[in-house]
Each structure stands twice: as structure tokens, then as C-alpha cells.
Structure 1
Amino acid sequence: MKFTLSLLCFSLTFLLFAQDKDELKQEQLSLKKANGFVYHANELVDADNYVSAEKEYRKAISEQPTNVAGTYNLGNSYYEKGNYDEALFRLAQAAKNGKTKTEKHKAFHNIGNILMKNKKCKEAVEAYKDALRNDPSDDETRYNYALAKVCADKQEDQKKDKDDDKKDESKDDKKDKEDKKDDKGDDKGDDKKEDQKEGDDKKEENGKPKDDKKDEGKNDKKDEKENQGQPKQQPGQLSPQQIKNILEAMNNQEQKVQEKMNAEKQKGTPVKSEKDW
């Protein structure tokens, strides 16, 4: 019985060891294939053939999803082409799957570079911090971190200034609304006073018998009564008084001429009348 149990335990151990050995062998084979795809892709990148290189990197990732070299280099190829969103995604994968501090440092360093390209300085500061945690001695990372810090502080100041400007504008708008409200209130008060004044004027008119317009009407009626019975003068015609004056003037003139003619006759001198031209 003891022999049988020992034999069974040995068999299970052997099978597990054989299985682990096969899995390890398969993993090594996948790693070898993936590295082959990465190597070929790197050659294509050197030849500026990014389209074909991308395909080879994807083959490497498909063969071994945790392959850091494939995701890291694919991210860098996207960065070279200016496709920053895809580059950021692949480098984040490389940072997550990295097994060594060197792999993580390189991934976080390049993530910081992409974020700086996108003007995300605050996020870049955090990425460079992660890179320095994995390799504090890298001078290039420290330099980029300093630049990102300055950029982040500047953006923060600009944001504060912008917020302050918005607050000031909001205060000004509020003040303008209050001023307009006050103006409307004043206008209503003035209109009310004006209406009240007009009402008072009407009351005074109704309370007093004397009115300029009414007096004028009375005077006009009085003149009309005085002129009743007299003939109305038509436009362009002479009045009777004017006609009378003209006739008197003519008679006087004729009388003078007659007197002159009589005096000449007495002297015997002929009288020469003037021509009527």
C-alpha cells in the first residue's frame, strides 16, 4: 500500500515536471520567434519602412503579448511617425510589462517625451518621476524633468490668470446688470413724476376758469362779432375807402389841369398837352 502511494506521487511529480518543461520550451520558442520579428522590424525601421515594421512588431506582440521589446519599439515607431496617441498606448504597455528597471525606465522616459509634445507638462512631470525612480542616475531624464516642471508651473500660472480674468468679467457683468437695473428704476421714477406733474397741471386747468387757449377763442369770437355787417374784402380787390381816395386824387388833379388851361387862355398862349405813351 505504501509502495503504491509512493509510486503514484512519483508519477504525478514526473508528469508535472514534464508539463512545466514543455511549457518552458514552448515559451522559449515563442520568445525566439517574437525576437525574430522584432529584429526584422528594427531593420525595416532603419530603412524608414515604418508600415512594414509595424506589421512585424505586431507579429511579435501576437506571438508573445508580454514581449516588452515589441511593444516598446512599436511605440517608438509610432512616435517617429507623429502618431502620439498610439505611441503612448504602446509605451504604457511596455512600462507595465517591463520586468527590469531598465525596461521600465526607458518606457516612462519616452512617455514623458510624448506628453511634452502634447503640451501636457503636468503629466510629463509624473512620467519623468517614474523614470527616475527606476534609474535616478540618468542625466537626460533629470534634464527633461526640470524642463517639464518649469512648463507645468508656467501653465498653472496662466490658468490662474485666466480664472482671475473670468472672475473679473463675471463681476463686471454683474455690476453692469445692477447698473442697468438701477437705470430702469430711475427711469420709472422719472416717468412716474412726469405723469404726476401732468396730472397736477390738468387739475389746475380744471380748477381755474382762466385759460390762454380759451381766451384766444373768446377774443376771436369778439372780433368776428365786430366785423359782422361789413362787406368782406376779396383777395386782389380795393376797399371802398381806397377807391374813394383814388377818385378824390383824380378830381384834384383834373381841377389843377383845368385851372392851368384857363390861365393860359387868358394869356393867349397855346397849351401843349403831354402825350400819353
Structure 2
Amino acid sequence: MKRLKNKKVNRLNALIIGLVTLFSFQVNAQIDTLQLKKEARSLLREGNELYNKQKFDEASIAYRKALGKDSKYDKAAYNYGNSLYQNKNYKEAVSQYELTTKTSKDKVAKAEAYHNIGNAMMEQKQYQQAVDAYKNSLRNNPNDDETRYNLAVAQKELKKEQQKQKDDKNKDKNDQNKDQNKDKKDDKKDQKDKNDENKKDDQNKDKKDGDNKDKKDQDKDPKDNQNKDQQNNQNKKDQKQQKPQPGKMTPEQMKQLLESLNNEEKKTQKKMNVKKSKGRKVKQEKDW
């Protein structure tokens, strides 16, 4: 029995030691956490002093160290975003403001973070994102007139951007139509130039053929041209000789006249022969 009792005592002692150890660990962890938060607050104050002196690079370092001590320190993240914004590192600043919107439980702090996100987006000319950020800010703090004014400005810029995009789209479409019409005109011009070129080639070909013909005629034997000229002169001479001249008879006319006289003489001779053979029946030849 004593032995069993000793076991229970040992178990109880082990449990007590475990609880004490766990408690000590939790206490130490809390002490460490409080110490880290204390150091983070100190670094935040250091950063704020540098920020007020417009030493934004040094302030950023202090705020970053504060976040290293406490990653959920929303004030350090917000102020770090402000220092980045002052150095025109707008994209990095937005990341820090977004961290504040996620970690902060204060609606006013969230509204300010969203407001600054809107400002950073305006600087980057991202007007739709700016409009969304200002609307989120007003959801957390509807009474902020400055945010409401910035929202109106962002909406105006967004409308102008959308109109410009629409105009650019229409311009691109018109330019495309102009290019297509220009291409058609160029095609017609090319076809006309091609037709003119073909016509010119035909004219050059005809001219070349004419030149070749003239050259061919020039290349002929001069004797052939001389013989041709002599033949033409002879033909003209013969035609001139055959042409009747006033007061003179051509050989042909004289020939016809002689034949006519001979015929008349034959007729006269026949008549005389008929008178000599009177009383004899002869067959009469009619000459009419």
C-alpha cells in the first residue's frame, strides 16, 4: 500500500511541476511580448520625431524596426505608409495602409488608411481604385467631408479617363477605316499605274516595230530600189504613150480603121458578083 501511495505522490508532484513550468513559460512569454511591444512603441515615437523633421527615410527605418518587434502594430504600419508616401513610394505605401485596414479595430483609423490608399491611387492615376478606396473610407467614417470631396474628384477624373478611352477607341477605328480606304486607293493607283505601264510598253513596242521596219527598208539593196524606180518610170511612160493625143490617132485606132475599110471592100465585091450571075438561082446571103 505504501508503494502505491508513493506512485500517486510522484504523479501529483509531476503534475504540479508541469503546471508551474507552463505558467512560468506563459509569464515569460507575456513578459517578452510586453517588452517587444514596449520597444515597438519606443521605435514608433522615434519614427514620429524623424517624420515631423521631414526625415522620411530615417523615419521609415524606425517604423520598419517597430513592425519587426510587433508585426501587427497597426499604428507603425500606418505611419510607415505615410513616410513611404512622402517619398513618393506610392505602391509600397498602399501595402502598409492595407495592413492597417486589416489589423486596426478602430473604424476611424481604418477610414484614414482607406483615405490615404485613395490618395496614393490618385497619384498613380489609378482612378477606379481611388474611387473604391474613398468609398470604403466613407463606409467607416461617413462624416468625413474631405474624403467625400476627394471621391468627387476621383469620379470626375475616372469619367474623363473613360471618355478618353472611348474617344481613342473611336479614333483607332476611324484610323483603321482610313487605312483600309487608303489601301484600296493605293490598289487602284497601282492598277492604274500598271495599265499605264502596259499601254506605254505597247506604244514602245509599236514604235520599235516601226523603227525596225524603217531600218529594214534602209537595209535593202539600193539596186532593188533603183530597179523599182525604173520600172515605175517605164510604166508611167507606156501609159503616157497609150493615151490619145489631140489631132493624132493611136496605132490601135489605125488598125481598127483598116479593118473597117477591108470589110466594106468585101461587101462591095460581093454585090458586084451577084449582078454578074443574074438568072441563076443562088442562095442569097443577107447582110442586114
- For the criterion TM > 0.5, the same-fold answer is yes
Residue in structure 1 matched with residue 124 of structure 2 by the alignment: 118
Residue in structure 1 matched with residue 194 of structure 2 by the alignment: 188
The answer to whether 1:58 aligns with 2:64 is yes
| Change over 3 Å in CA distance of 1:149–1:12 after alignment to 2 | farther
1:44 to 26, 47, 50: 50
Residue in structure 2 matched with residue 108 of structure 1 by the alignment: 114
Aligned residue pairs total 216
1:14 shift after superposition: 6.8
2:36 to 26, 30, 35: 30
* Whole-angstrom distance in 2 between the partners of 1:72 and 1:38: 11
Residue in structure 2 matched with residue 144 of structure 1 by the alignment: 150
Where structure 1 has 5 or more consecutive residues not aligned to the other structure, the ranges are 226-277
Q: What are the within-5 Å matches in structure 2 for residues 1-277 of structure 1?
A: 19-196=25-202
| Change over 3 Å in CA distance of 1:18–1:200 after alignment to 2 | same
Normalised TM-score (structure 2): 0.62
Residue in structure 1 matched with residue 242 of structure 2 by the alignment: none
Amino acid at match of 2:146: E
Three-state SS of the structure 1 residue aligned to 2:91 is helix
- The answer on whether the counterparts of 2:57 and 2:83 sit within 8 Å (CA) in structure 1 is no
1:83 shift after superposition: 3.1
1:68-103 residue CA offsets vs partner (Å, 9 max, x unmatched): 111111111222233323323322332233233222
* Whole-angstrom distance in 1 between the partners of 2:200 and 2:54: 86
1:67 shift after superposition: 1.0
| Change over 3 Å in CA distance of 1:60–1:205 after alignment to 2 | closer
Three-state SS of the structure 2 residue aligned to 1:48 is coil
* Whole-angstrom distance in 2 between the partners of 1:132 and 1:24: 37
Identity of aligned residues (%): 31
Amino acid at match of 1:47: K
Normalised TM-score (structure 1): 0.64
* Whole-angstrom distance in 2 between the partners of 1:52 and 1:197: 87
* Whole-angstrom distance in 2 between the partners of 1:62 and 1:167: 54
The structure with the largest alpha-carbon Rg is: 2
Where structure 2 has 5 or more consecutive residues not aligned to the other structure, the ranges are 230-288
RMSD across aligned positions (CA): 3.6
1:148 shift after superposition: 0.5
Mean CA deviation greater in 18-27 or 122-131: 18-27
* Whole-angstrom distance in 1 between the partners of 2:144 and 2:19: 47
* Whole-angstrom distance in 1 between the partners of 2:107 and 2:14: 44
* Whole-angstrom distance in 1 between the partners of 2:154 and 2:173: 28
Three-state SS of the structure 2 residue aligned to 1:78 is helix
* Whole-angstrom distance in 2 between the partners of 1:141 and 1:174: 49
Mean CA deviation greater in 170-179 or 84-93: 84-93
